[in-house]
Amino acid sequence: MRDDAATSRLADLAERYWDFEREETPFGAILAGQPVAGDAVLRESAADHERRIVRARLLLAQVLGISGEDLASQDRATLKLLERELTAVIDLHAADLHLRPWLLPGGPEFNIAFFANSTVLSDAGAAHRYVRRLASLAAAVDDLADNLRAGHAKGIRFPAVVLKAAAASAAAAAAADPAQSAYHGPFVRAAASGPSLEAAAAEGLRVIKDRLLPALGRYAALLAGPLSQGARENLSCVDAPGGANFYRTMVRYFTTTDQGPDEIHQLGLAEVARIEKALAEIAAASGQSVSDYRAALVADRSFISPSSDALLDSIRALCKRIDGLIPTWFGRVPRATYGVAAIPAASSSALPPAYAQPGPADGSAPGMFWVSGLPDKCPSFMHPALAVHEAWPGHLMHIALLQELDTLPAFRRYGAVKYTACIEGWALYCEGLADEMGLYASPAEQFGRLQMELWRALRLVVDTGIHWYDWSRETAIDYMDSRLALSRDTIAAEVDRYAAMPGQALGYQVGNLKMRALRARAEQELGDAFRHRDFHEAVMTAGAVTLPLLDDLVQDWIDQSRAAA
């Protein structure tokens, strides 16, 4: 029997929690195109963090007062997710995440550019508000710097290699021509599309020049100067005060499981061995060893586009081909569309070969599939796997569909970024699905697909190796370099990313394995009644959830489908 009173209380708490998120962490809501009060985009001051914890504890106490026993399955999921998210706010603060924020590649210069790239200025009011937000972001950068100083005073030290790269990235952003910067981009795009925003654009340039870029310059100087004093030569976050608890907390957060670093490391070793066996079979078919086959791919310049424009054209044509296959495999698709664009060459060296930027839920801008501006980072044998992972049916399709699920509370529709294992696991599952879709047309592309999966399996080994087992940077780079058809510079940038973002890299393959296990279970239990389109809809419309909750929701769908059959 359904508990209507509990359902009503839950709906009220879900709405209040979304209000909490929009007020305390407005960045995510703004990116989703949702209304927020005030002009703040990031709230990073010490007072912000302290207030957030007090509010989170009060809300959590009320969430814990609701019994989920008689709730519908999606309502039970909502209740568990409210508990999970509020507990994470408290636990991450207790682990001093605010004193050791990510510096690379998701430092403030990248996040502000990401915000700017997703901003659409429809009228003068929106333009002037964007100017005020730019000013608030300058203040937020200074608040972030204060947090770093507080962490330094507490004994928290970053790896020297991470500080050097982060300082260089921030310094380059600070030295940009204001009129050519990503931060001024919304005005450039608006001018091309019609509205007259000259006054706001001029004020925006002044704010960028006089406030935002100087704040980024101060931040860069802090990283290169005071924070570099006593910087660690090793990479492990465990060496910092409270580091072991910090890393275990991050592992739980990003995998959404109770697996510890040792268990994750062993899983990674087993996955690496499994995938390397499959790679060996492809290489053997051409009479080569894996290392020789991989070396031949890396040396073959025919896989490298002659220019960034040629690379972009190739990816766009591939995406259009994928679009034509979607209806066969997916019964429900979002209304939103997406574009494909090149990452500026100056930023490409510190970023992965490609990434997705979801469009805002209000439809004011499309999602974007960003592809490296450096062709050497994106050989063509990687293109199919990259496209299905980042665009459709991967991130851009998944997140756009989540945003349209108006039966879910707002915090679930717009909070996908907090569920790496679910979101990245789905995208990685799509790489394997692309084989069934017929998208890998050659042994080289099949090898490329397996290399991409191996890359994610290696992350399980290397992330835990760096942080839990104190691997050196060279050890981590050598371990990956001996197995991947990527340049050593690309691999080095990846290792630095794992050092800078402890635990984040673990969600991908852990999530992928769960997706595959759910697919195998559905096929076994449903037999001839199994339909790809229905399974994919069940997974995608479950929402961005923890892996245990995804298991529960998909099992509910299996049970209902079996009963209907």
* Residue 546: inside a domain: no
Domain assignment of residue 148, given as a range: 4-243
Question: What is the distance between the terminal CA atoms of the chain, rounded to a whole angstrom?
Answer: 25
pTM, entire model: 0.93
Q: In 277-399, which ranges are E strands?
A: 338-342, 354-357, 367-371
Whether residue 142 sits in one domain with residue 54: yes
Whether residue 135 sits in one domain with residue 112: yes
What's the Cα-to-Cα distance from 22 to each of 14, 31, 410, 453, 524, rounded to whole Å? 12, 11, 10, 36, 43
pLDDT per residue over 11-27, tens digit each? 999 999 999 999 999 99
Of 148-157, 309-318, 341-350, give the lowest mean pLDDT range.
341-350
Amino acid 425: pLDDT: 98
- In this structure, the strands spanning 338-342 and 354-357 are unpaired
**Whether residue 85 has pLDDT greater than 60:** yes
What's the Cα-to-Cα distance from 475 to each of 339, 352, 478, rounded to whole Å? 38, 21, 5
Q: Which amino acid is located at 252 in the chain?
A: R
* Residue 520: inside a domain: no
Determine the average pLDDT of the residues in 497-526: 97
Whether residue 234 sits in one domain with residue 259: no
Give the CB-side neighbour count of residue 312, counting CA atoms within 13 A.
Answer: 16
Residues 6+ apart with CB under 8 A from 259: 251, 267, 510
Whether residue 154 sits in one domain with residue 194: yes
Whether residue 214 sits in one domain with residue 177: yes
Whether residue 169 sits in one domain with residue 262: no
* Residue 506: inside a domain: yes
Which of 304, 447, 443, 290 shows the shortest CA–CA distance to 377? 304
Which of 343, 340, 339, 338 shows the shortest CA–CA distance to 308? 343
* Residue 342: inside a domain: yes
Whether residue 252 sits in one domain with residue 235: no
Which of 194, 223, 228, 27 shows the shortest CA–CA distance to 124? 194
**Whether residue 502 has pLDDT greater than 70:** yes
Mean pLDDT of all residues belonging to the chain: 95
**Whether residue 134 has pLDDT greater than 90:** yes
Whether residue 366 sits in one domain with residue 230: no
* Residue 555: inside a domain: no
Whether residue 204 sits in one domain with residue 60: yes
Q: In 222-380, which ranges are E strands?
A: 338-342, 354-357, 367-371
Determine the average pLDDT of the residues in 116-132: 92
Question: Domain boundary at 243, 278, 301, which?
Answer: 243
pLDDT per residue over 135-146, tens digit each? 999 999 999 999
Whether residue 307 sits in one domain with residue 207: no
Instruction: Transcribe 426-488 into DSSP letters.
Output: HHHHHHHHHHHTT---SHHHHHHHHHHHHHHHHHHHHHHHHHTS---HHHHHHHHHTT-SS-H
Q: What gap in Å lies between CA 425 and CA 406, rounded to an integer?
A: 23
Whether residue 68 sits in one domain with residue 22: yes
pLDDT per residue over 31-68, tens digit each? 888 899 999 999 999 999 999 999 999 999 999 999 98
Whether residue 208 sits in one domain with residue 60: yes
Residue that the structure tokens 């070969």 belong to: 353
* Residue 535: inside a domain: no
Q: What gap in Å lies between CA 27 and CA 35, rounded to an integer?
A: 11
pLDDT per residue over 365-417, tens digit each? 889 999 999 999 899 999 999 999 999 999 999 999 999 999 999 999 999 99
pLDDT per residue over 163-220, tens digit each? 999 999 999 999 999 999 999 999 999 887 766 799 999 999 999 999 999 999 999 9
Residue ranges of alpha helices (H) inside 124-197 are 124-153, 160-174, 185-193
Burial of residue 4 (CB within 10 Å: 0-12, 13-18, 19+) is exposed
pLDDT per residue over 227-283, tens digit each? 999 999 999 999 889 999 999 999 999 999 999 999 999 999 999 999 999 999 999
Amino acid 352: pLDDT: 81
Residues belonging to the chain: 565
* Residue 18: inside a domain: yes
Q: Which residues pair with 370 in a beta bridge?
A: 341, 355
- pLDDT category at 112 given cuts 50, 70, 90 is very high
Question: Domain boundary at 197, 226, 243, which?
Answer: 243
* Residue 521: inside a domain: no
Task: Report whether the peptide linkage leading into residue 159 is cis, meaning its omega lies within 30 degrees of zero.
Answer: no
Q: What gap in Å lies between CA 261 and CA 386, rounded to an integer?
A: 28
Question: Domain boundary at 491, 510, 529, which?
Answer: 510
For the chain, the domain total comes to 2
What's the Cα-to-Cα distance from 224 to each of 150, 154, 218, 314, rounded to whole Å? 16, 19, 10, 39
Q: Which amino acid is located at 517 in the chain?
A: A
